[in-house]
Amino acid sequence: MAREYLYDPFEIDFRKLEVFPTSVYKNNFFKLIYIIDGTGVQFMNKHHFNYRKGNMFLITPADSYSFKIEKETSFFFLNFNDVYIKPKANKDNDWIQHMENILQNASHRPGCILKNAADKPVVASLVDCIDKENTYGQIYCNKIIQQIVNTLILIVARNIALKLPKNVKESTGEAVLDILHYIQENIFEQEKLRVEKMGNQLGISLSYLGRYFKKQTGETLQQYISNYKLRLIESRLLNSDMRINEIAFELNFTDESHLNRAFKKHKGVSPSEYRKKFA
């Protein structure tokens, strides 16, 4: 197993590879990997994921990882440590600590972390800007790159926060991560979110599934599904032009008024008021 070392608060690298140089890596820092072009397989811990252009992966200090390249791949690597995300003097210390916890509590599974569709073209543009600044090296390029790096890390934190229950810890069992992954993959298919279907698909008895999930996450299955849908609604209100009835249809609410009632109970304002105030 190979180890890399980080000598600065953050480092960037662009590489085009036909073969990934070492079979397995493990680092003591965070690593963001963005696929500019190409296809292959990402391995993390004991799982794998077929990657393609536009995917972004977060590797935490707890993870071992490797890649099998099938089609020549252009990678963007961003390495950063906890010193970078929690500077000594920062008036937003609570937010910095929250962001560090979010990053540390990523699921430790392979797969693209960009769950918010509106963030995908933004990330592609930011990576391209870093490439251009790094290539041409004009005045203030280092400062500009640093600001873009900050934005990328914030986008990653937002996408992870969008999918994690509040109480998931580093010690959370592997089975609950499988449950979360299943819910997130099938959030738009109401039939697949029935407890009986979930238990059959995941090989977990119905009598145990609900109790286990509540113990591991602090939420019931239905609370998590409802809260996850509400976070998706917030994301669409803030980052898309979808109409309220379109969001309701996508997320299997009975109708627009059903969504309005659920959202207002959660946020205290209607979806249209929320969009007008914050978008």
How is residue 11 written in tokens?
């480092």
Q: Which residue has the higher pLDDT, 132 or 153?
A: 132
CA distance 225 to 165: 10
Per-residue pLDDT, 70:
97
Q: How confident is the model at residue 257 (pLDDT cuts 50, 70, 90)?
A: very high
Q: How confident is the model at residue 89 (pLDDT cuts 50, 70, 90)?
A: very low
| CATH match of 10-163 with 2.60.120.280 | yes
- The type of residue at 144 is I
Tally Cβ neighbours within 10 Å of residue 42: 22
Q: Is the whole-model pTM more than 0.85?
A: no
Percent of the chain with pLDDT over 70: 84
Per-residue pLDDT, 105:
57
Q: Decide if pLDDT at 9 tops 70.
A: yes
Per-residue pLDDT, 228:
86
Per-residue pLDDT, 100:
60
- For 235-249, what is the mean pLDDT? 87
**Residues 147-160, buried b or exposed e (16+ Cβ, 10 A)?**
ebbeebbebbbbbb
Per-residue pLDDT, 88:
47
Instruction: For 65-86, write each residue's pLDDT tens digit.
Output: 999 999 999 999 999 987 777 6
Per-residue pLDDT, 170:
44
Instruction: For 173-224, write each residue's pLDDT tens digit.
Output: 557 767 887 887 788 899 999 999 999 998 999 889 999 999 888 889 999 9
Of 92-96, 207-211, 257-261, which range is least confident? Answer: 92-96
Q: Which residue has the higher pLDDT, 54 or 105?
A: 54
Nearest to 129 by CA among 152, 145, 150: 145
CATH assignment, 174-278? 1.10.10.60
Domain spans of the chain?
10-163, 174-278
How is residue 59 written in tokens?
């590797």
CA distance 149 to 256: 39
